[in-house]
Amino acid sequence: MNAAYCSLDQLLEQSDVISVHTPLTDKTRHLIGRESLHRMKNGVYLVNTARGEVIDEAALVEHLKSGKVKGAGFDVYEFEPEITKELFLLPNVVLLPHIGSATIETRNKMSEMVARNVIAGLEGERPENLIPEMADLF
């Protein structure tokens, strides 16, 4: 697929579409903020299906209005359950409820994953889906 590792700054500067997939941690809160948005290419599309607070929505609204960000699609929001009102008014934004995983197959696999992680933890083993901040516990 001709993929290569690059820094976040390189990714922001080179990508036409940025899709965010990260847990919310102290390091990722507002990972996409005013400075990150400014670094992005003109006309970029931004998708967030990770966690709402990863994106500074006030800064995003400014960049959507200016055209720097051509469009955005979210199913998670910074102030859930509230949604930044300006996002509703912009024609270049698609807002959905957080239902991306709402299929029988996905929910079954999620339940199985949780069960495996609980069993591993109870048996003193390392669960398979730890975020880095939890790694020291196992």
Q: Which residues does the annotation mark as catalytic?
A: 51, 80, 98
What residues have CB less than 8 Å from 36, skipping those under 6 apart?
A: 8, 12
Label the pairing between strands 93-95 and 69-74: parallel
Assigned token pair, 123: 């048996």
Beta partners for residue 72, in sequence order: 46, 93
